[in-house]
Structure 1
Amino acid sequence: MQIPLQITFHGIDHSDAIEERIREKAAKLEQVCDRITRCRVVIEVHHRNTSSLHRKGEPFHITVNVTIPGGELVVKRDPKDPHVNEDILVALREAFDNMERQLKDFVARSRVETKTRAAQ
């Protein structure tokens, strides 16, 4: 990556363990596509209750934004069901798995376009 990985926590305390997991997942994305120039990850918890005592059970909203030459790929996990993605590790895995699929599709399309241009 040309620009260092950006990780932001909103409505949730920073966690070194979660940050390390995100770094591992981002490194795996770079193995799929070495043309990534930027990766931003936002982890949010939207509290319906204003009391900080009622945080348990709130779903995690994960956004993974990857910039590649010629475009940007975005995965946004924004569950409506309050019981979805209660485990932050599951939410991260789902978001990064989805981004990995998008990157694989991008790489495959790029190869087809390159072969088509070469054949002309």
Structure 2
Amino acid sequence: MDVPLELAFHNLEASEAVEARVRERVAKLEKMFPRLVACRVVVEAPHKQHQKGNIFRVRIEMSVPGDDLVVSKEPNHAHERFADPDVYAVLKDAFETAERMLRDYKGK
């Protein structure tokens, strides 16, 4: 992977498994869009606990020539109690959105 990746965990322990999944997905983004300059991913768990566990938020910032593209996935507060407590599901959703965003950008 040639794209510089910055990965941060806020309010949760860093996980090698999550890091591996993020690296895998960033490599896929790079393959899809070779002009990707840099990528920053933040995985966050808010301080408050929920009945079903933590609600995870993922933010992906992608630098492309002349622009920055940002994906932010967090639960809608009205539906927060139904949000998926699985960090991998939230990562999958965020990276699928990032792929769509890059495809749209590429098509311009």
TM-score, normalised via structure 2 length: 0.89
- Give per-residue Cα distances to partners, 1:43-102, cap 9 Å, x unaligned: 0000225xxxx7962210000000001101100012121431310000000000000000
Residues 23 and 3 (structure 1), Cα distance of their counterparts in 2 relative to 1, 3 Å cut: closer
How many residue pairs get matched? 105
**1:70 paired residue among 61, 66, 74:** 66
- Mind listing any 5+ residue stretches in structure 2 that lack a counterpart? none
Listed as ranges, the matches of 1:20-99 within 5 Å are: 20-49=20-49, 57-79=53-75, 80=77, 81-99=80-98
Partner AA of 1:59 in structure 2:
I
Highest Rg: 1 or 2? 1
- Mind listing any 5+ residue stretches in structure 1 that lack a counterpart? 110-120
Partner AA of 1:66 in structure 2:
M
Residues 101 and 3 (structure 1), Cα distance of their counterparts in 2 relative to 1, 3 Å cut: closer
CA contact (8 A) 1:85 1:91 kept: yes
Identical counterparts, % of pairs: 38
Partner of 1:115: none
Residues 5 and 84 (structure 1), Cα distance of their counterparts in 2 relative to 1, 3 Å cut: same
Partner of 1:8: 8
Residue 13 (structure 1) shift: 0.3
